[in-house]
């Protein structure tokens, strides 16, 4: 019998970096799919690397034929700012690509007779609050509130949550004996993510990681949102823990398809202050990019993640202070030798 394997799409991206390392530490056999070749440090961790697009169905069929996949982390996507420049391409990658992967998982489950667990990172971009006053009044937004995204990326993420729910429900309705419907879909709505190792590209929450990395490199930074901008964030190790914890959660305990996650909700000014304390020669100027500002202003200032805490024990280890003191500042200092 072929050994079961994990498939990671978008493996070269921000989340992929941390996830591959953790999966390899756990001794998992990993197959990756990304439009760009994996960085050498990552390539050594995987059993097989496919370079190509999730929109290429022939390529997915090749992977299906060669490997017995029991777990999918579908990370590939065009992020929110990038997607506004090329909305049709974003739809093709974010929606058509996800549909391809769900079909892939469905066929894979069908062929080996048990459901494929499918982890999908959705986003706070799935929310859309109409104005700042409403955002401030909204407090900790629950999963089913304000599901009116303003961006192509947000629409794509929200719709794919529903697509995943459709595939999962199909599975439940038909029952374990049926050959149809074999996708065990599980999804988190990530807040902005901050990694000490990599920088994101094309996101609207990128100001936080960009500011921190620029300061550590001793470079000036122009922040593209107002200093009072507030959205939820978490650091990458907690994001990876959350994905792995949800992946191994008992199915019967999961009461919903998509779960909010958060760890802390600083303003851009709060981030600037803590970065300036760590790197006193930091130079941040503020020049608002109206389009990107509108995007983050439409995202909640905080979210209610009690369902994730209750159902599968989500518990981020880093609050705002620990994120910087125990993870970001030491790891970034080491990375840039400062
Ligand atoms: N961090 C992402 C972005 O800014 C949201 O999921 O697009």
pLDDT in tens, 131-151: 999 999 999 999 999 999 999
245 vs 242: CA distance, rounded Å: 5
pLDDT surpasses 90 at 175? no
Pairing of strands 221-223, 284-286: parallel
Q: What is the mean pLDDT of residues 115-138?
A: 97
* Position in ligand 1 atom list of the atom nearest CA 83: 7
Nearest protein CA to atom 6 of ligand 1, as residue: 123
Report whether 201 contacts 82 (CB < 8 A): yes
Pairing of strands 48-51, 140-141: unpaired
Block residue for tokens 């990370």: 75
Nearest protein CA to atom 1 of ligand 1, as residue: 192
Q: Which residues pair with 285 in a beta bridge?
A: 222
Of the options 3.40.50.2300, 2.40.160.10, 3.40.640.10, 3.40.50.720, the CATH number for the domain spanning 3-193+234-260: 3.40.50.720
> What is the model's pLDDT at position 181?
52
300 vs 265: CA distance, rounded Å: 10
Nearest alpha-carbon partner for 188 in 94, 102, 248, 258: 258
Higher pLDDT, 65 or 144: 144
Higher pLDDT, 112 or 239: 239
* Position in ligand 1 atom list of the atom nearest CA 82: 7
pLDDT band at residue 337, thresholds of 50, 70 and 90? Answer: confident
Q: What is the mean pLDDT of residues 69-80?
A: 96
> What is the model's pLDDT at position 171?
55
Q: Which residues pair with 48 in a beta bridge?
A: 31
Instruction: Please give the mean pLDDT across all residues of the chain.
Output: 94
Which contiguous run of DSSP H or E holds residue 98?
helix 97-112
pTM of the model: 0.95
Task: For the chain, give every domain's residue range.
Answer: 3-193+234-260, 194-233+264-301+318-333
Using the mean position of ligand 1's atoms as its centre, give its distance from the Cα of residue 62 in Å: 31
pLDDT band at residue 315, thresholds of 50, 70 and 90? Answer: very high
Residue 112's Cα: distance from chain center in Å? 28
> What is the model's pLDDT at position 114?
85
pLDDT band at residue 119, thresholds of 50, 70 and 90? Answer: very high
178 vs 174: CA distance, rounded Å: 6
Using the mean position of ligand 1's atoms as its centre, give its distance from the Cα of residue 192 in Å: 6
> What is the model's pLDDT at position 1?
43
Write down how long the chain is.
Answer: 338
16 vs 38: CA distance, rounded Å: 10
pLDDT surpasses 50 at 297? yes
Using the mean position of ligand 1's atoms as its centre, give its distance from the Cα of residue 310 in Å: 25
> What is the model's pLDDT at position 338?
72
11 vs 51: CA distance, rounded Å: 10
Whether 194-233+264-301+318-333 and 3-193+234-260 are alike in CATH topology: the answer is no
Q: What is the mean pLDDT of residues 77-101?
A: 97
> What is the model's pLDDT at position 137?
96
Using the mean position of ligand 1's atoms as its centre, give its distance from the Cα of residue 185 in Å: 21
Using the mean position of ligand 1's atoms as its centre, give its distance from the Cα of residue 173 in Å: 33
Which contiguous run of DSSP H or E holds residue 82?
helix 80-85
DSSP assignment of 211-253: HHHHHHHT--EEESS-TT-B--EEEHHHHHHHHHHHHTS-GGG
* Position in ligand 1 atom list of the atom nearest CA 153: 7
> What is the model's pLDDT at position 25?
95
224 vs 246: CA distance, rounded Å: 34
Pocket test for ligand 1, best of 10, 205, 235, 291 (most atoms within 8 A of CB): 205
Using the mean position of ligand 1's atoms as its centre, give its distance from the Cα of residue 204 in Å: 6
Q: What is the mean pLDDT of residues 93-107?
A: 96
> What is the model's pLDDT at position 293?
98
Pocket test for ligand 1, best of 154, 192, 295 (most atoms within 8 A of CB): 192
Report whether 141 contacts 303 (CB < 8 A): yes
CATH placement of domain 194-233+264-301+318-333:
3.90.25
Residues in contact with ligand 1 by the CB-under-6-Å rule are 79-80, 123, 125, 153, 190, 192, 203-205
pLDDT band at residue 180, thresholds of 50, 70 and 90? Answer: very low
Report whether 99 contacts 143 (CB < 8 A): no
pLDDT surpasses 70 at 78? yes
Q: What is the mean pLDDT of residues 308-322?
A: 98
74 vs 72: CA distance, rounded Å: 6
Using the mean position of ligand 1's atoms as its centre, give its distance from the Cα of residue 155 in Å: 13
41 vs 64: CA distance, rounded Å: 26
Pocket test for ligand 1, best of 14, 84, 122, 123 (most atoms within 8 A of CB): 123
Which contiguous run of DSSP H or E holds residue 169?
helix 152-174
The percentage of residues in the chain with a pLDDT greater than 70, rounded to a whole number, is 96
The percentage of residues in the chain with a pLDDT greater than 90, rounded to a whole number, is 88
């Amino acid at each position: 019998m072929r050994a079961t394997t994990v498939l990671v799409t978008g493996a070269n991206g921000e989340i992929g970096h941390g996830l591959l390392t953790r999966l390899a530490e756990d001794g998992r056999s990993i197959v990756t799919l990304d439009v760009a070749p994996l960085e050498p440090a990552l390539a050594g961790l995987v059993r097989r690397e496919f370079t190509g697009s999730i929109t290429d169905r022939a390529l997915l069929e090749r992977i299906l034929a060669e490997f017995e996949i029991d777990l999918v982390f579908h990370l590939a996507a065009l992020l929110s700012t990038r997607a506004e420049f090329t909305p049709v391409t974003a739809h093709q990658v974010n929606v058509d690509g996800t549909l391809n992967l769900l079909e892939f998982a469905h066929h894979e489950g069908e062929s080996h007779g048990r459901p494929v667990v499918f982890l999908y990172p959705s986003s706070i971009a799935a929310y859309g609050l109409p104005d700042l006053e409403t955002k401030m009044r909204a407090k900790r937004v629950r999963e089913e509130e304000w599901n009116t995204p303003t961006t192509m990326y947000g629409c794509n993420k929200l719709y794919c949550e529903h697509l995943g729910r459709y595939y999962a429900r199909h599975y439940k309705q038909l029952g374990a004996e049926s050959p149809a419907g074999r996708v065990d879909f599980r999804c988190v709505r990530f807040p902005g993510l901050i990694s000490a190792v990599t920088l994101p590209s094309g996101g609207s929450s990128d100001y936080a990681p960009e500011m921190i990395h620029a300061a550590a490199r001793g470079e000036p930074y122009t922040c593209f949102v107002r200093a009072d901008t507030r959205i939820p964030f978490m650091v990458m190790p907690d994001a990876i823990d959350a994905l792995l914890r949800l992946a191994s959660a008992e199915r019967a305990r999961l009461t919903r398809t998509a779960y909010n996650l958060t760890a802390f909700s600083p303003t851009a000014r709060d981030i600037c202050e803590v970065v300036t304390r760590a790197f006193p020669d930091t130079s941040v100027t503020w020049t608002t990019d109206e389009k990107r500002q509108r995007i983050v202003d439409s995202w909640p200032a905080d979210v209610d993640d009690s369902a994730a805490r209750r159902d599968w024990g989500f518990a981020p280890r880093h609050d705002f202070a620990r994120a910087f003191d125990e993870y970001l500042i030491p790891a970034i200092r080491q990375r840039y030798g400062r």
